[in-house]
Chain A
Amino acid sequence: MTAPAVSISHLRKVYRRGTVAVDDLSMTIAPGDFFGFLGPNGAGKSTTIHCITGIARPTSGKIEIFGIDAVKDYREARRLVGLSPQEFNVDTFAKVTQIIDWMGGYFGLRAPERKARVEMLIDRFELRPHAKKQFRELSGGLKRRVILARALVHDPKLLILDEPTAGVDVELRRDLWRYLQELNRDGKTILLTSHYLEEVERLCRTISIINGGRIVREGPKAEFLASGDLEAAYLAATGAEPDHISGAA
């Protein structure tokens, strides 16, 4: 039997100052799935992702990546994961090529294969004219592409995208959607968080909604859409009243 791409059981994360960010969270992502992870700001999405990738230490619970324990066998587990974070965690003075190349090196890719991967990703994400520019010189959309290329340099089986299209224009967003669909077709499992419900509705096959650190609804996209649109299902799951939201606007 194939192990799930991600298996989280009873994950709990309490920060040093006592904030409970994630509380008894369990979820499973099937290999090859395009998984949408939704929730309001502060619901625990990024914390869950940080626990999966090693940026945060889980307080308790178990996380497995393709059957490998992400805490005990963290080095093995991390080789399987690529992360495109919500915030740009980059040396802003480094050049585009360096950023992707260094990450490849961190994951143990030797020079010839690393060079081939970097060149391929630079072309794939149309970064060639910007390859020698420093990260700080790029527009927001180009920065997003660099971050995505960096996440893919070691050809991970699981790609985690934390709000990958935040702050990018419509054209680039559609380009990125196309890239992501292509990646998923090629067999990559994708975990996507986004505040754009249209994006999740268009790309994902399975959706999970988190609120207050707990999963409040999970299932195939079709189930969410059966009773109306995704927005209505989302608002119902998170306890927000549609009228209240429109009134606030």
Chain B
Amino acid sequence: MRIHGDQDLGAPMAPMSINWVGLGTMIRRELSRLMRVPTQAFVAPWISALMFIFVFGFVVGSRIKLIEGQRYISFVLPGILMMNVVNAAFLQSSSQIYFQRFLRYIEEALVAPFSYVEMIVGLLAMTVVRCVITAIGILIIGTAFGATSISGLPEFIFWIVLVSTIFGFLGVIVGLWANNFEQLTMPVIFFITPLSFVGGVFNTVHMLPEWLRWIAWANPFFYFINGVRHSMIGFTEAPEWLGASITVGLATLLAAVVWQLFSRGYGLRE
């Protein structure tokens, strides 16, 4: 039997054509990897949200007065949701690229006819899908237990997609840089968790002492949480255009950094 097929598989590719099949394969492949750990990927954040609803909704929440006219659980849940999205996005993209480098199967993509943009999109697509599934799951759980609502679904999707893209990019940068597992988890410990806690998950800016409020205003997490909170319960502490501009600006900046790293082969090519 010949190794050749009868098809002309070596037909030339138009210079600017997009490798759609390759992109689809990247996504399919990552989905397959994710489905090896569905509990960790999807069930864990939903259970975590359920626990927050139980504690802040039924145990502690009933003893806390309304915040700006909102029940405490309704105020807190968007922040909890955003923390889960941020963690999922960062862990998904950083571990995806780190393991590909660690086991060297990133070389499968490097020897294939992918442009840098295709490789980046392929890496990020599953991150965004995972985060949207995570967020919608938490939203459904919250709504089912009467802990939250949705005032603007397109706005909600906008924030989830944009924030997961930002932390997907950050994950890619860290995944390219890291040389061990310790380095891979460092940003979560020293950067993501602290900033999300002071980004207005549990309190409004006005609940902070006046001299500390600048930390909230200067913290991008505040705008992410504020944006998704507005899309869910209609409450906002900052102008919508400001939060959206900062977030789009940050996503654009990180996209440029990631593109630069890929085009230089940083952490990818020898």
Tell me the A residues contacting B by CB distance below 8 Å: 15, 47, 50, 53-57, 73-76, 78-81, 83, 85, 87, 89-94, 98, 102-110, 113, 116-117, 120-121, 123-124, 150, 152, 154-157, 179, 182-183, 186-188
Contacts and interface: CB of A to CB of B under 8 A. Distances in A.
B144 interface: no
A183 B26 CA distance: 29
B21 A109 contact: yes
A53 B29 contact: no
A90 B12 contact: no
Interface of B: 1-5, 7, 9-10, 12-13, 15, 19-22, 24-26, 28-29, 32-33, 36, 103-115, 265, 269-270
A156 B8 CA distance: 11
B235 to A, nearest CB: 45
Nearest to A185: B2
B24 to A, nearest CB: 7
Contacts of B28: 102, 105
Contacts of B108: 89-90, 102-103, 106, 150
Contacts of A113: 5, 7, 9
A124 B111 contact: no
Contact of A105 (B12, B25, B105, B269): B25
The interface centre, meaning the residue of A73, A91, A121, A156 with most chain B CB atoms within 10 A of its CB, is A91
A124 B4 CA distance: 11
Nearest to B100: A91
B10 A76 contact: no
Contact of B111 (A54, A73, A182): A54
B267 to A, nearest CB: 11
B97 to A, nearest CB: 13
Contacts of B32: 94, 98
A120 B5 contact: yes
B105 A155 contact: no
Given A91-B103, A102-B25, A107-B22, A75 B113 contact: yes
B21 A55 contact: no
Contacts of B3: 120-121, 124, 152, 155, 179, 182-183, 186, 188
B113 A79 contact: yes
Given A89-B103, A154-B9, A186-B3, A57 B113 contact: no
Given A79-B13, A106-B109, A109-B21, 12 more contacts: A75-B114, A76-B15, A76-B113, A81-B111, A85-B107, A89-B103, A106-B22, A106-B112, A117-B5, A120-B5, A121-B3, A155-B3
The interface centre, meaning the residue of A75, A110, A157 with most chain B CB atoms within 10 A of its CB, is A75
Contacts of B12: 76
Contacts of B111: 53-55, 78, 81, 83
A186 B2 contact: yes
A107 B9 CA distance: 9
Given A57-B265, A102-B25, A113-B7, A89 B13 contact: no
Nearest to A82: B111
B36 to A, nearest CB: 7
A154 B108 CA distance: 13
Contact of B1 (A75, A110, A120, A152): A120
Contacts of A79: 10, 13, 113
A148 B36 CA distance: 26
Given A113-B5, A117-B5, A107 B107 contact: no
A50 B21 contact: no
Nearest to B11: A79
Contacts of A150: 108
A71 B207 CA distance: 57
Contacts of A102: 25, 28-29, 108
Contacts of A157: 10
A74 to B, nearest CB: 8
The 8 closest A-B pairs by CB, nearest first: A105-B25, A106-B112, A89-B104, A56-B270, A75-B113, A155-B9, A89-B107, A108-B21
A55 B5 contact: no
B112 A123 contact: no
Given A78-B112, A87-B104, A103-B108, A55 B269 contact: yes
